[in-house]
Amino acid sequence: MDLIDLIKKLNNEDVLSQVSQSVGVNPQQIKKVTQLGLPTLVEAMNRNAKTQDGARSLARALEQHQDDEVDDLSKYIRHADAHDGEKILRHVFSDKSERVENKIAKQTGLDLSQVVGILAQFAPLILGLLGKEKKQRNLDYTGVAVMTSSLTEQLGGESGSGLMGMVSQFLDTDQDGDIMDDLGDLFGGLFG
């Protein structure tokens, strides 16, 4: 799975228009949420998968979504299960979920419910795509951890110069290993 390609596909006019209608915001605001929210979501999954329990938990979640029909993004977004998406966000971001969503809302000019609405439509899609990849490659939980790590590397990795490197650098400016506690710095730097 190519995360950069996915972000580009999700930022196409048709998908943005559908999400825009469902949450009542303009496509440009959705694009900002997507461009930062998806890498942050994947990075949080990657951080969670660095522990054995986290990797096993993610592998189980991917198995639940491995047969989702994700090939037609527009159709999938149209029928996205927002309730499931909200549960995914709470699990991935853990106790920092509301803080992450509030930071995104503040920087994009959206309210919290709109940000949650956008991310909740995309979260099951990410799990569906990763689940499909897990199934095709017959990965166990250690393979899932390698897969999420490789996704972050596609965008420059934690120490790289690409988007994910920038996300990690800004998200963990105090170098404590917790990307979520520094989220405001990222959004302030990119949109300030």
Render pLDDT for 84-120 as a digit per residue (tens, 0 to 9): 999 999 888 887 788 888 888 887 889 999 999 999 9
- Enter the pTM of the model: 0.78
The predicted-structure confidence for 52-86, as pLDDT tens digits, reads as follows 999 999 999 999 999 998 888 888 888 888 899 99
Q: What secondary structure letter does DSSP report for 26?
A: -
Q: Which domain holds residue 85?
A: 3-191
Give the total number of structural domains in the chain. 1
